[in-house]
Structure 1
């Protein structure tokens, strides 16, 4: 079992590298639980969340079989891309946190790219 300390360190390493190459771009942060997946666009300079989407949104909840599969993650990615366009965001830096770029995290990223976000 992986300890909480090592997960926090891994997430910190990823975020440190992102902030050095972000060049003022908005950060797309992903959180994955066992039942749902969440994503938000965060402006680190101002400290504000510009847009957010998750499998708990009323728009998605009724159309999804479960919130914890690749299809649900793809739906969240598309919804987040739409909300990013409304917020005027087109370029982001992808923050996978402590998760591997695989499975649900990859599906969300690919759907966000298809929706028009560039990273």
Structure 2
């Protein structure tokens, strides 16, 4: 197995547990240059809120979309948008990535923004 396959295997296990609970989930994806976050409904078929470093209003404030400070900005933004959609509590789906660095920065910023997980 390569790196991507093992990450996706870890992600599948986490998503199975979250799907059993029918919880709203905060999903994170990180690439080398950007980080993306989505709040997905309990049934898994509808995106309720989204934020990323690709968006124009986020990019104008950042010099680099692939660092921890950019992830913190996305975390605060996703928390604001989720609260606007009426979502208080989510299950954190890190998509098989280690809870470290950019993923951790996004999660902590979302918690500071008022999301509970």
Question: In which range does the TM-score fall when normalised by the shorter chain?
Answer: over 0.9
Contact 2:19 2:43 (8 Å CA) reproduced: no
Query: Which residue matches 1:60?
Result: 58
Question: After the TM superposition, which of the residue ranges 10-19 and 46-55 deviates more from structure 2?
Answer: 10-19
Shift, 1:70, TM fit: 0.3
Matches within 5 A, 1:8-47: 8-20=8-20, 22=21, 24-45=22-43, 47=45
Task: Find 2:114's aligned residue among 109, 113, 116.
Answer: 116
Shift, 1:59, TM fit: 1.6
Aligned residues: 117
Q: TM-score, normalised by structure 2?
A: 0.93
Shift, 1:79, TM fit: 0.4
DSSP 3-state at the match of 1:30: strand
Unaligned runs of 5+ in 2: none
- In structure 2, the CA distance between the partners of 1:114 and 1:61, relative to structure 1 (3 Å rule), is same
DSSP 3-state at the match of 1:47: coil
Query: Which residue matches 1:105?
Result: 103
Shift, 1:46, TM fit: 5.9
Query: Which residue matches 1:87?
Result: 85
Query: Which residue matches 1:77?
Result: 75
Aligned-residue Cα RMSD (Å) equals: 1.5
Shift, 1:17, TM fit: 2.3
